[in-house]
Amino acid sequence: MKEVWPSLLLAFPVTLYIGVVVLGSLPSTEGVFGGMFVVMLLLAVLSALPFEPIHLWASVVLLGSTIVVLGALYLATGFGIELLAGSLLASPALLMGYATRPGGLGWRLLAFAVALTEGIGMLSAARALTTAVVPVTGAEFIREFVSLNITQITGLQGLLMSSGAPLPLRDFFDPVYVILAAIATAGILFTSLRPQTAWGEPLPAAGATSPASEVVHPPFDLGPDLEAALLERSSPQPAFGGWPPGVLALLGGCGAAVLVVAAAFLDPGLTLGLLAVGIVVGLASTIVVMRRPLPTSRYP
């Protein structure tokens, strides 16, 4: 669990950045909006910490908050909408908290990607609202966020029909956000990309302390031959020499990303086609070489 801390430190700044930019760029917000964001951010951080009792409390508080928000919405008061806006702003942090937890890699990657997508949407919405002359409330922030996503969907439909509809999410670019997202990616991969078996058991890694053949001192006499044989048995060994296993695959992934970026700069229209072809070829190759049925038992 020691790896949780660096993972947290690397992954959470991007979510904090989203909150700070949104709250800071809106001309006027009520305190409930920001307060709820802070509370939910703390809950997200707590839920990511490796202390089980805190998870329990965090879950209880989260559940209580949800009940309050839903109740407030039901009563259709402005207070409830403000709470909802605060929760929405903190939702990338909650997703990031889940993404940093050990466990199912696929869901974690997906949670991470959704958090970043939400972040792009919220920052775009905040930019759009910055130009507003009237004081902005949490309700307006939610409305802008939803309308921005509707515009994006409409834009995608237009793209398929070759019309020039706006795509607000595509046009968003914030270098600080990109850098923080890259750092967060490193944080997420930090806990995932370590030598391990398909069942999550750690494999011997260079630099890690690997248990050597422990000296056998059992409470019985093994005899000199057996004791000597036990001492000469093999111990876990990491891969020494050459490329560390898996680094070539990581380089392959990065190389593909570089190709996409290069294509985007050369001809933005080429990017999607290149990606589509790459995915189809990659998946087809994998299907050909891998057995698809899930393993049912560890040993045959």
Partner 1 sequence: MRSSPMLAPRGWGALGGGLGTLLLGFYSLNLLLLVLGTVFTGFVLAALLWFSTTTRGFGPADFVYERYQNSAEVIVGDLGSMGLRLEHRGRAGFFAEIFDSHPDSLEIAAGSPRLMTWWAPGAERRLVYAFRPVRRGGFLLGPTVVVAHEPFGFAFRVCTVENPWTVDATLRVPVVSSGPSAFEQDRRIEGGINLPIRGRGTEFRSLRDYETSDDIRTVAWKRSTMGRLYVREFERETPQDIVLLIDTGWRMSAGNVGSTALDRAVETASLVVRYALLRADRVGLLLWSGRPDLFVPVGRGSDLAAALRRGLTEAAPGPGVFEGYGAFEFLGSRLTGPAHVIVFAAPERWAERDSEAYRNLTRLGHRPYFFLPDLPEMYAALGEETARRVSTLVDAPENGRRDQVVGAVEALGAPVFVYGRDGPMDAMTELSERIRAFRRGR
Selected binder of partner 1 within 75, 161, 198, 212 (CB under 8 A): 198
- Told to check if 204 binds partner 1 by CB under 8 A, we report yes
Within residues 35-74, the interface with partner 1 by CB under 8 A covers: none
Report d(CA 95, CA 156) in Å as an integer: 26
| Among candidate residues 260, 26, 226, the one with its CA nearest the CA of residue 134 | 26
In what helix (H) or strand (E) does residue 183 lie, and over which residues does it extend? helix 175-192
Burial degree of 244 (CB within 10 A; 0-12, 13-18, 19+): middle
Q: Is 147 in the site for partner 1 (CB under 8 A)?
A: no
Residue type, 103: G
The correct pick among 75, 197, 207, 209 for binding partner 1 (CB under 8 A) is 197
Q: How many residues bind partner 1 (CB under 8 A)?
A: 89
Q: Is 283 in the site for partner 1 (CB under 8 A)?
A: yes
In whole angstroms, the minimum distance from the beta carbon of 279 to partner 1 comes to 7
Tokens 């703390």 belong to residue: 42
Q: Does 248 bind partner 1 (CB under 8 A)?
A: yes
Nearer to partner 1, 132 or 178 (CB): 178
**How far apart (Å, rounded) are the C-alpha atoms in residues 82 and 140?**
10
* Cβ 154 to partner 1 shortest distance, Å: 13
Q: Which is nearer to partner 1, 81 or 115 (CB)?
A: 115
- By beta-carbon proximity to partner 1, the closer residue of 35 and 255 is 255
Query: Which tokens belong to 98?
Result: 């889940």
Kindly tell me which of 28 and 234 has the beta carbon lying closer to partner 1.
234
The per-residue DSSP string of 201-257 comes to PBPP-TTS-----PPP--SS---HHHHHHHHTS-------SSSPTTHHHHHHHHHHH
Nearer to partner 1, 63 or 284 (CB): 284
Type of residue at 76 = A
Residue 290 touching partner 1 (CB under 8 A): yes
Q: Which of 113, 128, 139, 183 binds partner 1 (CB under 8 A)?
A: 113
Tell me which of 114, 128, 165, 183 binds partner 1, using CB under 8 A.
Answer: 114
Q: Which stretch binds partner 1 (CB under 8 A): 19-27, 40-48, 85-93, 242-250?
A: 242-250
Asked if 101 touches partner 1 (CB under 8 A), the answer is no
Q: Which of 196, 201, 4 is nearest to 96 (CA)?
A: 4
Does position 166 interact with partner 1 (CB under 8 A)? The reply is: no
Which secondary-structure segment (H or E) carries 122? Answer: helix 105-130
